[in-house]
Structure formats: C-alpha cells, structure tokens
Chains A and B, each alone.
Chain A
Amino acid sequence: MVYIRLASLLTLTLLLVGCGKAQIQYADKQTNNIAPASESSNLSIAQSAYAFEDKDIEVPANFDTQGLANCNFSAQESEACPLKKKVVRIYFGENDIVTKNNEERAALTHLNNERLGYMLENQLAGLNRFRIVTQDKVAEREQATQFERQDVMNMAEVVMDKTPLRPDYAVKIDTIKTAERFYAEYNGLARYNIEMTASVIDPFTREKLSYPNLGKIRVKGTDVRDKEFFVYTQVNNRYYTGFNYTDQDNINAVFSGMASKAFDVLISRLLTEMPSSAQVLAFRNDQISLDRGRNAGILNRETMIVFGYQDGFVDPIAVAEVKPSSNSGVGKIVKWKDTDFAKSFRKSAKNKVFKPTQKVFAVSVGLPQDYIENRL
C-alpha cells in the first residue's frame, strides 16, 4: 500500500516536473522606488563638441523641426512657426519664509525680490527663448526724460508706432526660503535653503502650462559659500564670532547669491527644455551654414547635433560647434557620426559647397560651456 502511494507520488512529481514548460510569470518591473532626494540642483551643461564620442551623437529631446519653414523671423512672427517667441512678463512670488530665528526672518522679509526679478529678466532676455516685457521702472523714467527733452512731434510719431508688448504669458517664480541654525558643542552652523519653481501662466484662461517644465530647483547656502563661512560661535545666547547672522546684509548677500545660482540652474534647464534649432543650408568640408543665428536663440560656441529629418524620423549626421551671427550661423563639424548616411554627406561636401536635397537641421544640446565661463 505504502509502495503504491509512494510510487504514485513519484509519478505525480515527475509529471509536474515534466510540464515545467509553463513559465513562471514575474510581475513586470518598470519603476524603482527611491527616497525623495533633497540634494542641491546641478547645472546641466552641454558637453563640448570636442568631447563627443560616436555614441553621443544622437538627436536630443525637445527638438522642434516641424513647421520651421513657416518662420519668417520678423517682428510679426507667423503663428505656425514653432520658434515663435512668446511674450512674457516675469513675476517674482511673495516671500515665503520658514524659520524660527528672528534675525533671519527680519532679513528675509526685507529681501528685495524686485531686483531678483530684474536679474532674471536680464538673464532670460539674452537667451532669446522668450520676449520679455520688463517690469523695470527705468522704462517709464526714460520715456519721461525723452518727452521732456525731445521734439514733441517726433515723440508723437514714436508713440503712435510703438505700443508696449502684450504678454502672452506670465512667468511666475515661486520660492521658499528656509533658514535654520544648528548649534553643537562649541560652534554652530547656519543652514540656508532656497526651493524655486517656475510656472508659465496664461492670464486669460488661467491655465498653468506644462511647457517648459523646469521642475524644482534647490540651492543650499553651501552651494554659494564655503561651509566654513556659515560657522559661528555664540556665547550666552549672544552672537560672538564667525558668520554674523545678526547682520541683515550678511544674510541678504547669501540669499541673493543663492537666488542667482537658482536662476543659473533654471536657465540651464530651460535650454535643454527649449533647445535652439536651425536648418542647415549647406555643407563644405567640415563647415556648415545655418539659416538663423542669435534670432533663434543660438548661443556662442553652441554644441549642436546635425541630423537629417524625414517623415518624423531622424538620422544624426555629426556634432558641430556653432557660432551665431544675428540672422545666420556657421558651424564647424567636429565629429561625423560613423554611419553610411553621415558618410554620404561628408563625401558630397568634400571640397565643394553641398546643398542637401533632404532637410537637415541642427539642434542644440544645452547650455554651452562658453556661456558658463563668460556669462554667468
């Protein structure tokens, strides 16, 4: 009896093993759970064209090529042009302060947001992604002075011709500033943080636009000054030496620096969200000519990927370093992609001007190193 049972069990086991063809179904894993990060935000900088390897020569995200033909780059840009620059006015949100310390609260309450707003206007204007209607009161002052000193008829004509730009969108910068102090045995550390978000708002539909998506920017005090700078000593609850948190100018200086840094991060993100694009008109050896320049927001020594475009498909050709002039640009191809497609271009362009029949574009990869060195 026992043997029979054993035998049948064995058979069953064998049978089961035998039908092991049915594969175990694992739940698909497409996401990883990680703890939320609160690290400082980094600047994302375009790699120099000279540092590109073959595998790096790929078309970056967010390129806009469809409908480029509709662009005329005049003051009255066609609505169909994807590069039509939106007119924006920049607003700097209220002071949102999180701190237990009276000294910091007083300083942060008096932090001049107006000036930070102008700084951002200045930086953004140079990038040519938006057209900016300034809030700077200097405009009114200048007008008043001109009215005072210029010929009235002349001024009347100017006023007839020029009306203030109407903003398509409001760009609102929201910040939360945190200040805390941490005292250990014989000295303490002042820890300051800024969190910044930017939103693009259509004032009439009240819609917050999804694009450009700049995320959240975090800057710590230690990103703009050494840690040692923030170390202080207090004796009997009185400030003694080191970082003087009782001096409002001191705190303001740090926070202004942090805000400025946050703007730099914001700009670097903006440039990967909204890369500059241009059409390649012709090749000659390692040179390319582009149909637009600064007017399309191309920056000096911009790293651009050159690619062929057909029916929604892209074929990278090369990486180039581009120099813009106001309405056109020239680029030097630093590395050709190792594909037959790219080789055909290289061959055709050898020692002669080659105007490709298919559409070829160039798109920037992000904030150029040159901008960091000379503009930040």
Chain B
Amino acid sequence: MPIKYLIALTVLVLSGCTMVPQGGVGANYVSYNNLKIITEKEAEALTRDERSIRIEKDMKAVGFQTVKVSPLVDGFSDSVVSIYKNQYKLIQKYKVVVDNHKDVMSFIHANKGKSSKELKLEAERFDQLALNESEKIAPKLKQYKQANDDIQKENLKLAGELLLHSGKLALIFKDNAEQMLRAEAMLMLANLGKVQKAYKAAEVRIHLAKLANDFIDQEKAVLDITKQIQEILNEKL
C-alpha cells in the first residue's frame, strides 16, 4: 500500500526537522497560534514528572480538530492526528507503567505460581500491613494492569485508524488517479489559506508527538535497563 508509506515518509521527513524556537531572540518556545509550545531542548531539561505533564498540557492546548481541505490533505492530516492522539493517550500510561514496574514485578515474581485469586488474597494481606496508602500494592497492581491494557488498546486503535486513512486514500486514487489529482489541485488552490493552516497544525502536532514519543522511548528504555540489571543480578553477581 504505497499511500501508507507516503504518510509514513511525510511524518518522517517532518519529524526530521526539529521546530526552531520562534517569537524573537532568546525565546524558548515554539509558537502556534497564540500558544507557546515547549521546544525539544526545553522538554529534555525538565524532570520526568514536569516533562510528561507539560507535553500533555501542550498537546491538549493544540487540540485534535482538523481543518478540512481536500481528500489528500485531509488524509494526511487525519493520519497525523491519529498518531498525535495515540501519543497523547500513551504518555501518562507509560509513566504509570514505569512508576509501578519494580513493585508490581517484585510482587508478582515473589508470588509466582499462585492463581489470580490467591494473588488477590495475598495483595489484601499485604495491604493490611501497610501504614499508609502509598505502601499498598493492590492500587498499583490495578493501575499497572489498566495502563498496560490501555497501551495495547490505543496501539491497536492507531493501527486500525492508519489502515483506514490509507484505505481511503487508496480508494480515491484507485480508478481515476489523474482526474482526482486535478480535482485535488483545484481544491487546494481554492483553499490556499486552509492548506497553510492544515500544514501548520500538522507540523506542530508532529513536533509534539515526537516529544511525547521521545519521552515514551526513554520510559521504555528504563524498563529495558531494569530488565538487563536483573539479568546481571541473576547471572553475574
């Protein structure tokens, strides 16, 4: 499906060029409409908590609405929004997973071989000994499972949506590509201002999606590293 590759390529090309800070000398934000969107450098300098919250906030501010222009441009915009939404939904989920990973894995590993009922009973017993809420394991188990389920769900959703978008585009070009392209050109000419807007929106969304994705990658790396450390402990220490 060449259209799918086209979208992927566009996203890649766009994400390749980091957005430069705008808004004058010394400004450390990317301006979009009246919003001051965080830059890549700024995001990296923040603490984990601050960073995830800020990215999420900026993503929400930019929003998920697309400008309708033409089938081709819309297809592209929709794909970008799908990816954008996916990253927006996942950013906190991954944080939850990383926050709880050690405790949940420790608990589950220590109770290896127990049925889910026995595990629940053990969690209750454990929580009875807890002095405060933060020492309890049951809420963490729930959050962890929820987050993992959500991640899976969101990823499936994204795959479905991308398939749909590319399917739409494929359909457009299926029979009368030349005719369609001409119509496209006409529409785009007529909506020149809108095209500009759609392009800018896509650009800032890709920027934020990339920031979110970097954060998620780093969270995933944390999980990988803890797994590697466990291997070292098991084998070498």
Contacts and interface: CB of A to CB of B under 8 A. Distances in A.
B230 A184 contact: yes
Contacts of B229: 184-185
Interface stretch (B39-47, B55-63, B135-143, B147-155): B135-143
Contact of B233 (A182, A237, A241): A182
Nearest to A241: B110
B136 A187 contact: no
A189 to B, nearest CB: 6
Interface stretch (A138-146, A157-165, A228-236, A363-371): A228-236
Query: Size band of the B side of the interface?
Result: 20 to 34
Interface string A185-226: 111110100000000000000000000000000000000000
Contacts of A240: 106-107, 110, 126
Interface residues of A, number: 19
Interface stretch (B64-72, B97-105, B176-184, B212-220): B97-105
A184 B235 CA distance: 12
Given A184-B226, A185-B101, A233 B233 contact: no
Instruction: Give the dominant DSSP class at A's interface.
Output: strand
A110 interface: no
A181 to B, nearest CB: 11
Contacts of B102: 183, 185-186
A233 B103 CA distance: 9
A238 B130 CA distance: 9
A74 B107 CA distance: 67
B237 interface: yes
Interface string B105-126: 1111110000000000000001
Contacts of B103: 235-236
Interface of B: 101-103, 105-110, 126, 130, 134-137, 140, 226-227, 229-230, 232-234, 237
Interface of A: 182-189, 191, 227, 233-238, 240-242
The 7 A-B residue pairs whose C-beta atoms are closest, nearest first, are A185-B230, A184-B230, A186-B109, A186-B105, A184-B229, A185-B226, A184-B233
